Amino acid sequence: MADTNIPLPERLRPRDLSEIIGQDHLLADQAPLRQMIDQGHLPSIIFWGPPGVGKTTIALLLAQAVDRPFVSLSALNTGVKELREVIAESGDLLTSVVFIDEIHRFNKSQQDALLNAVEKGKITLIGATTENPSFEVNSALLSRCQVYSLNALDEQAIRTLLHHAIEQDAFLQQRHLQIEEDEALIQFAGGDARKALNLLDLVASTFEPDQDNIITNATVVKVAQQNIARYDKSGEQHYDLASAFIKSIRGSDPDAALYWMARMLKGGEDPVFIARRMLIAASEDIGNSNPNALLLAGECLRSVQAIGMPECRILLGQCAVYLATSAKSNSTYLAINKALDLADKTANLPVPLHLRNAPTKLMKEQGYGIDYLYPHNYAEHFVLQEYLPPELKDTKIYESARNKREVEGERLQQRRWQSDP
């Protein structure tokens, strides 16, 4: 008798790597992970991929395959103290495999604690993330891990998974299920095995046992619409929709922006997440071509947090249309990235003496602040003066975009910097 209090994905969790459906590029014969296990070798790993593709299960089975202790932690509820306790308890003879779900949510101090343990061989780390680890994981920690991408399950893999569930699970067997149409199941799953199995479980629970039950697209759609929040809660599941939404704003298409935003809201997306994405877009894609966009997006975020659904949909829609129809510029986005890259390459350059702070007599005697020209003492509050290190003289970081506001600013800058002090 199946324990229906346990979710179907958990009841069917694979007990061996050979039972994993999908991810053949990593687990098939001669594939990287399979070769490692065959050699009894398990390095630290970062699994990067969408939800429901097997990151947690594969991590557990890898640890079992090399006969190592397995410790599972979530970045959502694990602090530095708990992390250090786990590391301290790792055995000297058998190095523990420490699995960190949503590792991208760890802050710098937490990632630094992991780095030290990985460097000293105290643990073998397996991290799972839905975010690009190049941006979200400490570069030093990332350099000590193998990064493997896991793919969303394709239609055939989802189809295989569903039929496997019907054949293997006792609760589903009692329903005598026959899938006559699977398009809706596959579409709602979106490549996510967990979503596919949870939806199948929901559909099966609407049927009576010990009689033949036919699953059609209409049946699935009806159940999905009634229960979407039960199997589609996580904002992590909507990054493709979020990408389409932001790209529609960037591309100045208000209709598409509203459509993709509505899709996210219907899918159970947190409206605060949507508002935050628009706040980023207001700076990254609009910037100084229309500074009011950032003000509106910021107020939208605060208002959404205060009001909540369903009313906040109105504010979200207003902000999305405003951003999509606004003038566009990514000049400051490009400039800060260029500045950061330059700072990485020239971090050894000293601050010029005339720009240094001189709060003490000794510093003044050392020349700190000497010959600094105070702009407000000059006409139009400007005076020609070097602000970059001498080695970077005439370096251009900010390039204005071709929009009215930035062009006017550029003309003012040209007039200033071509004048005499």
Looking at domain 23-149, what is its CATH homologous superfamily? P-loop containing nucleotide triphosphate hydrolases (3.40.50.300)
Cα–Cα–Cα angle for 386, 392, 394, nearest 5°?
65
* Residue 237 pLDDT: 53
Distance of CA 366 to the CA centre of its chain: 48
Asked if 274 and 238 count as a contact pair (C-beta separation under 8 A), the reply is no
Check if the beta carbon of residue 80 is closer than 8 Å to that of residue 110.
Answer: yes
Residues 6+ away with beta carbon under 8 Å from 188? 195, 196, 199, 220, 224
Q: Is CATH 1.20.272.10 the classification given to domain 235-325?
A: yes
Q: How much is the pLDDT for 2?
A: 57
Q: Where are the domains of the chain?
A: 23-149, 155-231, 235-325, 350-417
To the question of domain 350-417 being in CATH 1.10.3710, the answer is yes
Which residue type sits at 251?
Answer: G
Q: Are the beta carbons of 335 and 373 closer than 8 angstroms?
A: no
Phi, psi of 30 (to 5 degrees): 75, 0
Angular region, 22: left φ>0, alpha ψ -120 to 50, beta rest: left
Residue 262 has a pLDDT of 92
Do β-strands 123-129 and 213-215 pair in parallel, antiparallel, or remain unpaired?
A: unpaired
Residue 67 to residue 79: CA distance in whole angstroms = 27
* pTM as predicted: 0.58
Complete DSSP assignment for 173-192: HHTTEEES--HHHHHHHTT-
Per-residue pLDDT of the chain (421 residues; tens, 9 = 90+): 456 678 999 999 999 999 999 999 999 999 999 999 999 899 999 999 988 999 999 999 999 999 999 999 988 788 888 888 899 888 667 889 999 998 988 888 888 889 989 999 899 999 999 888 888 888 999 999 999 999 999 999 999 999 999 999 999 999 999 999 999 999 889 899 999 999 999 999 999 988 999 999 999 988 887 654 443 444 445 577 888 999 999 999 999 999 999 988 887 788 898 999 999 999 999 999 999 999 999 999 999 988 888 889 999 999 999 999 999 999 999 999 999 999 989 988 999 989 998 888 888 888 888 889 999 998 889 888 999 999 999 898 988 878 887 778 778 787 778 754 4
How many CB atoms neighbour CB 166 within 10 A?
18
Residue labelled with tokens 């929901």: 202
Overall CATH class of domain 155-231: mainly alpha
Cα separation, 281 vs 47, in Å, equals 28
